[in-house]
Amino acid sequence: MQLDGETNLKIKKTLDETKDLRHDSISDFKGLVTCEPPNSRLYQFTGNFEAHPPLVPNIRQLPLSPAAILLRGCSLRNTHRIFGLVIYAGHDTKIFMNATQPPSKRSRIERSVDRIIFFMFGLLFSMCLTGCIYFAWWTANYMPQHWYLAPNEAPREYDSAQPGIVAVTNFITAFILYGYLIPIALYVSMEMVKIVQSLCFIGLDRSMYHAETDTPAVARTSNLNEELGMVNTILSDKTGTLTRNVMEYFKCSIAGEAYGAGITEIERNNAERRGLKLDVPDEEADNKYREQYFNFYDDRLMGLEWAKQPHPDVICQFFRLLALCNTAIPDGPPIPEQMHYEAESPDEAALVVAAKVFGFFMIKRTNTIITLRERLPESTRDVEYEVLNILEFNSTRKRMSVIVRTPEDKILLYCKGADTVIYERLDRKHKVNEELKEVTLQHMEEFGSAGLRTLCLAYTELDPRFYDEWNEQFIEAKLSLVDRQARVDAVGEQVEKNLQLLGCTAIEDKLQEGVPQCIKTLAHAGIRLWVLTGDKMETAINIGYACSLITDDMTQFQLTGSSAEVEQLEAESRMEEATQLSAQRLESQLIKVQHTIAEDQQAKVATSYALIIDGKALLYALSPRLRQLFLEVGVKCAAVLCCRVSPLQKAQVTALVKTWGDTTLAIGDGANDVGMIQKAHIGVGISGQEGMQAAMASDFTIAQFRFLTPLLLVHGRLSYKRITRMISFLFYKNLFYGSTIFVYNAFTLFSGQPIYNDFYMTLFNVIFTAAAPLVIGWFDRDLDKGCGLRFPFLYKEGQQNLYFSLPAIVGWLGTALLHAALVVAMVLTGADSIDSDRKTGRIWSSPQDGVIMFTVVIITVHLQLSMIIDQWMWMHHVAIWGSIVLWFLFLLAYGAFPIELSTDLHHIIDSVAAIPSYWLMIVVVPITCMLPVFFFRAIKRHLRPVPYQLVQEIAIRERQGETVDMEGYDGGAGRNNQLKGIMARATRLVQRKVLRQQQQGPHGRHKGFVPPYNTQSRVFDVNELRSAATQAGYSISASGDIILTPQHQSFAALSSQSGTARRSVSGGVLGALFNRSSLASSLTGGHHNARHSFTSLMGGHYVQPLTPPGSVPGAVGHLATELQGGSRPSSISGGNGFLVLSEAVPPVEGLVTNPVISNLELAFSQDPRRHRQKDSWLSTLSVSGLQRLIASSNGGSNSSRRSSEHNSGPVGSHASGSSGGHSPAHLDIGIGGSPAAAQAATGSPSCSSLGPKAQGPRSSPSSSIRGLPGQTDAGYSSIQSSPSGGVQQQHAMAHPSRLSRLVIAVPDAAAAASGPPPSAAAADGGYSESPCEAHEDPAILDMYTSALQRPTKRGSKLSPRQSPRSTR
């Protein structure tokens, strides 16, 4: 039977006394039915059937259960026909009495519109009242003085002797005239827009179409489209909503032994979260018995191996219970592969299928007989079990029992249910129970931690005499017409006791596809998620972890209503005291949680919270005493998990959250979720395995939980923005239009004289401004569809009601009043009546003024609308510009009619279009009205942008090929973030001004060339610098820091022994870039602290340490040192200098140790117009959170390159003059040079290296440097040490075709020891000299080498001096 869309079949069976009736015997059927009056309880029926002979020998009372009742609208299966007796008909049927209208739901926007409408009516009445009072006063006092108005002959509505009548008639006139303040077409336009959004946009969205079930998204109502964009809290069911509701028998525990070797999906997710690797078996290979509802593999139970396990008799009873304790109906031939079971729930079907696979195959079922095909070790046989009674499952009992008679004439009771109810009914005197209770409970906890659904199984053998006595009481309870269900449950309690525990089952319900990603996205959108489930706390917590509802960085609060004291009081039957103690304990827990959250907020600790509460604690939390405290704690948590929740509690929790003022959305898939769905502001039903009851009671229907993200973040957000913009515009244009009428009427002493013609006044809302609002409501879009999912923080705009809040509404209405004042003032001033408009000399009159003003109003309202459009489509152009053109066409067409029809509009376009002032006014006046709005929007966008405007700029830059780092940005639109944005922009302006001042010389402002990669350049781009840093092996954080990420493992350097050498490095960009993980500090040696001077934001200099004092000396040699007096060092290996062999671009003085700037130097030296290429734009816009990098030099200009090349000599050193007797010598070492050349240049013997050997494509462990470049393999260099304890370093170049040279400054040992003179830094152009210390990372230089190998788009060839075989 299908009931209200239920897909699971329900068992319907007739009475045993009537099951044999046929066509020939139905005429003898006699009896009397006594039943309850008509009611709406679908699943309950109380009635008796009094059978008369010949149906029974004597008159007999037979109970009628709900299983014997067919409801209107159901469908029959597994039977051809039935004979039935109609009990309820027409309006008395249970289905009809349940067919009540769902609760009426209206969105928050609609309720706000109602309030605005009331305000507009109040404004209208105030205008009318003001006008009628003033006009009545003027008529009574001044009308007789104006003789030309013929006051003695005036009609009653202008009779000065009757001011009361004048006031009333004027009030009515004004009410009709000012009625345009009320947007009559508002609700019609809203409904048209919502219907299109529901049917076309939501219903036809392929991203919410489930192909497996052929189920699209369905909007069952159009009232709540915009409410989808304002959701704060989602209340969700678990089974069938977060999970698939496709149950599979996965594990079990029998006689204290756990069986099943599988790993659940939740276990895998939790292991990945903790960084663990699980040995996942191959399910397809290991589980040859797998089929639908069965995913169990353990060789100890498969086949007949269970008979070899300990306690085979217990295992046999376990399998029989699975096959007998159910209401499933076999459907198909008695072949295991072809048999299908129709069960009331997927859990029940999984248990029956498991029994079949284990060898207890249910092949046939009647009302009283169940036939099993049992495969036992001795034989396989068909066994019939007589079903004596079935005690059905319900939410109160939480268990199901069946009483059967075996072929051995034993009466057995098989029971399955929740562990709590089964453990209460176990035989405490049975030794096996005491042994199994703890072990089985531990297994159930383990299964629950893996996300499995557990059921406890037990049985007992009944004494025949006891059963006969009990059965009489049971039949009497079922015949009762008063409280039948309660009496049946009470009688069932008498037989369901002294049970023997068999074990437990564990069934897996896998998560739906995309649930974790969906929940993460919703959390980033600022939506709280409350999951209401009937599972145990352990199971719920692990499922929460698996679906990303709970994360490791959350602070968890677990609230339970049980304790040792409470359980003791309950055991002593002191229930009232136990209840009070539980409530007090829960209250103290909630207060403690509230204080913890408050303390974290005061300490500004950025953390999120998760609240887990079990069903017992929730029962007290929903009490009037604690509900407000529970709500205050719950809304401060990002996730709330309620366990062991009943359907009634789901609805109560939903109603409680609604009282907080949040927009709530409830989502579920079963009949137990209907109350929750109808209570929430928005109800979403999932058309799943449990039927369509939730979907039929919902407002929106989807097939999968993951479809919530496009439904809310795309359709909800766009619907909210479209409808709010449309409504705001409608109020704006009507107030604007009505205010012009009111202001002009004020000039006529509120006499009711209109400035507009009656005909086109009525067409203002219907024709001339009707299309544009509809187009905005249908097609307006600020961003592409994917941006809503990519940037979930955009959804917070709707949560904050950013576009329809009181300030937003006041802004629109204030703009309307401003535009009305400007239009009336400028038009009446410009269309002065002393000007002549025609050759006849007649001046402008009221009709001409009205046409001019109406034209200006039409153009102004559409220009105002065009300013809020972000993405133009052809429909926008047609609606806006077409409406303006339509007005002019109307003037032409209507003015051509005879004067009897066109009246004062007869050929009026000829009179107004003939003079230039008309065209001037319809251009100047709208522009004047738009200028304040334009400047306000521009300034607000620049200083206080909303999140979608930032995303718009990101989208523009990405279309231009740039990369924007949005890591850590949440789109917060709070005032603090906005002030930070203002200060960041102001700081950048100050920085640019300071930089310009620094470049000003004695002849004024610097006019030289500034490289585009330099921060002083107008086209400097942070992303270009980020790209260069990435290729160099570095990353730039959002704060502007350089983070070292070593990826290379080769280094080429000749280390110096301990000494006190100094180095010379460049300031400016180098210091600002590497103020933390500096390459310069990584390449310095010695045992002193390396320091670097660089320019601050305000142009000053200060010293910044680059390496910690505890660095190991001597690990890496000096890269740049100084030479005093121009003398050459006596040795390389034994002195204080060192030699570096690597690739370099033509040397850039001061930037040789910076791979990022050198990388950019290489790119722009080969392609100076790089920033002008279309595929390599360099934008002036930078991410607001990124610090601008300040340079004190131009970063390596052409002059610096020429200077470096001039100072570079052949293989050897070249000294250049310096102040104070210091002359740093640049040693130009050609790649592939020999030790002899090096010794000739430096006067030192060769030395060996302790560094690691580089592994390259052509590496050689014994390659050496020869005298000429051609005498060594290209791309390799080697320096061998002398016996005096030097070091040896080998380096393999990755790209030998791009090898070049590197200029190294080698200092004199004596000069390094003595230190520079005080004026050295000043004479050296701002370079600072300070002690250096070694760095422990030997991979820095190789990263520098790799950074210089950036390919260019033009593919320029290497110059001869860049060739590895060129000689200098």
Contacts of the segment 1352-1360: beta carbons below 8 A, 24+ positions apart:
1352/1163, 1352/1166, 1352/1167, 1353/1167, 1353/1173, 1353/1175, 1353/1176, 1354/1166, 1354/1167, 1356/1166, 1356/1167, 1358/1297, 1358/1298
Residue from 324, 255, 250 nearest 502 by CA: 255
For residue 1120, give the DSSP letter.
S
For 946, phi then psi, to 5°, come to -85, 165
> What is the token pair recorded at 151?
């006051």
Residue from 1001, 991, 1000, 1078 nearest 1337 by CA: 1078
For residue 533, give the DSSP letter.
-
> For residue 616, with 0-12 CB atoms within 10 Å meaning exposed, 13-18 middle and 19 or more buried, which class applies?
middle
Q: How far is residue 145 from each of residues 141, 148, 1137, measured CA to CA in Å?
A: 8, 9, 112
Q: How far is residue 1045 from each of residues 60, 1048, 1132, measured CA to CA in Å?
A: 90, 9, 31
Task: State how far the Cα of 643 lies from the Cα of 631, in Å rounded to an integer.
Answer: 16
Which residues fall within 8 angstroms of residue 1155, CB to CB, at 6 or more apart?
1032, 1033, 1034, 1079, 1343, 1344, 1347, 1348
Q: Is residue 509 annotated as a catalytic residue, yes or no? A: no
Residue from 913, 916, 924, 903 nearest 754 by CA: 903
> What is the token pair recorded at 87?
């009990």
Residue from 428, 424, 423, 415 nearest 441 by CA: 423
Residue from 1065, 1055, 1010 nearest 1197 by CA: 1010
DSSP, collapsed to helix, strand or coil, labels residue 408 as: coil
Q: Which one of the listed residues 159, 205, 237, 483 is annotated catalytic?
A: 237
How many CB atoms lie under 10 A from the CB of residue 406?
Answer: 15
Residue matched to tokens 């006044």: 761
Task: State how far the Cα of 823 lies from the Cα of 529, in Å rounded to an integer.
Answer: 51
Task: State how far the Cα of 569 lies from the Cα of 574, in Å rounded to an integer.
Answer: 5
How many CB atoms lie under 10 A from the CB of residue 364?
Answer: 13
For 461, phi then psi, to 5°, come to -100, 130
Strands 639-642 and 528-532: parallel
Residue matched to tokens 């300013």: 867
For residue 431, give the DSSP letter.
H
Task: State how far the Cα of 421 lies from the Cα of 435, in Å rounded to an integer.
Answer: 18
Task: State how far the Cα of 812 lies from the Cα of 742, in Å rounded to an integer.
Answer: 18
Task: State how far the Cα of 1335 lies from the Cα of 1291, in Å rounded to an integer.
Answer: 19
**Half-sphere exposure at residue 275, Cβ-oriented, CA atoms within 13 angstroms:** 1
- CA 1155 to chain centroid, in Å, comes to 38
Task: State how far the Cα of 1303 lies from the Cα of 912, in Å rounded to an integer.
Answer: 81
Residue 801's region, left for phi above 0, alpha for psi from -120 to 50, else beta, is left
Contacts of the segment 337-344: beta carbons below 8 A, 24+ positions apart:
339/363, 342/8, 342/9, 342/77, 342/78, 343/8, 343/9, 344/8, 344/9, 344/10, 344/11
Task: State how far the Cα of 693 lies from the Cα of 686, in Å rounded to an integer.
Answer: 9
Task: State how far the Cα of 41 lies from the Cα of 1119, in Å rounded to an integer.
Answer: 89
Cβ atoms 902, 892 nearer than 8 A: no
Please give the positions annotated as active site.
237
